[in-house]
Amino acid sequence: MSSIEPRGPRQIWRALIWSLKGLRAAWCHEASFRFELYLAMVLLPLGLWLGDGPVQKLLLAGTPLLVLSAELLNSGIEAVVDKISLEFDELAGRAKDMGSAAVFLLMMLVLLCWGLLLGPRAWALLHH
């Protein structure tokens, strides 16, 4: 007998509910997530509008979603670390810092994509 339960509609529904609970928890407890969500709400439609072709649209609209995903993982790491102990611990601090660094790197990816893809257009508009 397999220990892996098959994925049917009921399990998929439960996973959706748990995901929505996670999004709600991030909204209620994480100011960074709220800020990044507001930013994504602007950048996602703007990226779909400004992108020239499917790849550009994906890069411009999709990278803010990567930031949100990393923020959720970072917040999860922070919650687990804080649950274990609120006292300073070098490894706990390192875990939190690395999670924060992941979010930062993805923010740099957003800037890089937007700059490389839209920068030349903006430059051309300014110099015409």
- What is the CATH number for 70? 1.10.287.3610
Distance CA 33, CA 70 (A): 10
**Domains in the chain, number:** 1
Q: Domain range holding 107?
A: 9-75+102-126
Q: At what angle do helices 31-50 and 54-84 cross, to 10 degrees?
A: 170
Domain assignment of residue 70, yes or no: yes
- The answer to whether the predicted template modeling score (pTM) of the entire model surpasses 0.75 is yes
Domain assignment of residue 23, yes or no: yes
Task: Per residue of the chain (128 residues), give pLDDT as tens.
Answer: 556 767 899 999 999 999 999 999 999 999 999 999 999 999 999 999 999 999 999 999 999 999 999 999 999 999 999 999 888 899 999 999 999 999 999 999 999 999 999 999 989 989 87
Distance CA 39, CA 109 (A): 14
Catalytic residue among 30, 71, 87, 90: 71
Domain assignment of residue 90, yes or no: no
Is 87 among the residues known to form the active site?
no
